Amino acid sequence: MKRALITLWLVLSAAAPARAEDGYDLWLRYRPVTDAARLAEYRAAVTQLVVDGDSPTLRAARDELRTGLRGLLGADVPLSASATRDGAVIVGTPASSRTIGALGLGDALRAVGREGYVVRATRVGGRRAIVVAANSDVGALYGAFRFLRQLQTYGTLANLAVASAPKIQLRLLNHWDNLNRSVERGYAGHSLWAWDTLPDASNPRYRDYARANASIGINGAVLTNVNANARILTPEYLAKVAALANVFRPYGVRVYLTARFSAPIEIGGLKTADPLDPAVRAWWKAKIDSIYALIPDFGGFTVKANSEGQPGPQDYHRTHADGANMFAEALAPHGGVVMWRAFVYSNEVPVDRVKQAYTEFKPLDGQFRDNAFVQVKNGPLDFQPREPFSPLFGAMPKTPLMMEFQVTKEYLGQDTHLVYLGQEFEEVLRSDTWAKGKGSTVAKVIDGSLHGYARTGIAGVSNIGDDRNWTGSQFNQANWYAYGRLAWDPEMSASDIADDWLRMTFTNDPSFVRAVKAMMKTSREAVVNYMTPLGLAHIMATGHHYGPGPWVGGPNTRMRADQTPTYFHRADSLGLGFDRTATGSNALEQYAPPIRARWGNQRTVPDSVLLWFHHVGWTERLPATHGRPLWDELVARYNAGVDSVRAMQRTWDAQRGKVDDERFRDVQSFLAIQEKEARWWRDAALTYFQSFSHLPIPARYEQPAHPLQYYLQVRCPANRDKPRCDNVP
């Protein structure tokens, strides 16, 4: 009888029209389980909820479990003070729960450390139970989300035995949010932080933001733009920051800020910001003490200095280490850290811009205090669709390096184009630095295992705004999700992460998951092909970086050479690409010898970095171009990118009826824009490069819709955070 009722409930649920969804729930959609066998299993295994302890964090775990289980199982799961029957879910720590303390989990809990958790099917007092145990309340919260994920993805509860711990200590989102609520490189609306109404009014989205981060293990948020505003350090704004910290704290999310190096002058009344000046050091110490008086668990500062016009220690003939150590010294008594960005972009035009970070920071290895990180972008340039890993990874064994990924898609179609960055993150993390021989991956650098870093960290530039769906488009949510999961475990599979995200965000329908996951896995390669194939980089339109602009640069522009696409692609009548071997800028020298040997030889260099390291003749045939002339391979890649987007459209169109209409149409409309703009990219780039190669586009390919002059006249509005371009064909 019970099974018949379940079946009837499922039939009625399936027959009812799917309610409209707008993406606000992210991957925390607790919709009814539609698999009858799984639902029966879950209802038998989950009959009561026991959360031992009453801290704000354990209350958050209890509330999340009650909400999640009600939604998934279709009925409230009663709270109980103890396990009184089969099916208790018991949550807590040995300190909060005598039951958990008596289960003999000591070895398992020691293995997962402070933030890890154990989720295990077991027996308590002879009754079947599921235990979510941890050494800390926040670990128990993470375990609660992990248990809910098991149900959301239709995993079995039989013999459930999960133990997990983060491999990286600091797992942060960097919000490039300004105090006027604009977001630099943000494509999802305004900043979440309503500074004008804080600290008095609190938006429910603050809590939901913290919930989402906790569900994937993110434990810190840098609230402000790296191009910092000193006002954030004034008492008025620090009170607002404290209000946000109070909301985030139960979810294990600590707040951090960006520090403007010249703040002692701008808000402190000093005449200098010299990091070795005693008065400057005293000012920062007093300021930091005052922050901790308001926010006892304040995390510390991210600092951008002497880059793109930002002030820094070099203004006073001091080093980056001098600047970072000033902050580190003042933060150390409170347990805070400083994260000093290695993205340096000096006032002088260099021989090769991609060499700057290594050139400036490698000699400083070992000169930074213990609580100072050097935060390094994944590549040596600037978040391109593809670039080699930064040579700093593996080159600073005495200085903890933090990875900086971009979760927002500044150079990858911004909010419009569907690009699953999990593939990019995985590619970078698995790259081998050869710093200590084969297997010295970037992941092992940043998790501390390669060099024995005592502190470890990772940062992702946020793609979150106040758009209802948080990230501008539905599939951009997957990049936030993938970043968090890989920050927890940088050796995870991007494919497995996509599988979980699709099941939690859309549906467990196997045909949907299989097809759309395949689409997601090819999406990053698609954008590389129709934007910057074969190792090209930074050929986007200048300023907003939306759409193609390979023609920008040369003697007729007032811009710095290394701000222009022509600087990076070096197209001429002979060929294409930037020679970074010993015969060119020799940036290749910054990598380990096995990498230099492979990438420096045109016969062995991977196609992914061919034009990054070599200037190749238009008719030259290489293994990296599959034996075809470079021009033919370039044409093939640009067309393959467009074809991939069209395949994505067909895949998504076939999912009609498997997801709610609102989100289905939303994704469909974005894919239509992407297909149009992929053609724009292909045709504009090929007609421009054709003006150098003077070679035809083979007839088997679509021919450009317009001559080059047409594409030169396409204009985009000045708003770089939401650019849309006129006359796109």
Tokens of 28: 């925390």
Q: Which residues are catalytic?
A: 308, 382, 410
Tokens of 221: 């948020």
Cβ atoms 226, 302 nearer than 8 A: yes
Which residues, in sequence order, are CB contacts of 496 under 8 Å at separation 6+?
A: none
Gap between the Cα atoms of 246 and 239, Å rounded: 11
Quickly tell me which residue has 């949550």 as its tokens.
91
Could you tell me which of 363, 370, 365 has the C-alpha nearest to residue 456?
370
161-164, strands of its sheet edge to edge: 48-51, 88-92, 127-134, 117-124, 161-164
Gap between the Cα atoms of 687 and 634, Å rounded: 12
Half-sphere exposure for 707 (CA within 13 Å, toward CB):
2
Tokens of 102: 């008596």
Q: Which amino acid is at 454?
A: A
DSSP 3-state assignment of 79?
Answer: strand
3-state secondary structure 28-70: CCCCCCCCHHHHHHHHHHCCEEEECCCCHHHHHHHHHHHHHHH
Which residues, in sequence order, are CB contacts of 190 under 8 Å at separation 6+?
A: 181, 182, 183, 465, 466
Cβ atoms 512, 506 nearer than 8 A: yes
Gap between the Cα atoms of 224 and 643, Å rounded: 39
Gap between the Cα atoms of 652 and 729, Å rounded: 23
Gap between the Cα atoms of 78 and 80, Å rounded: 6
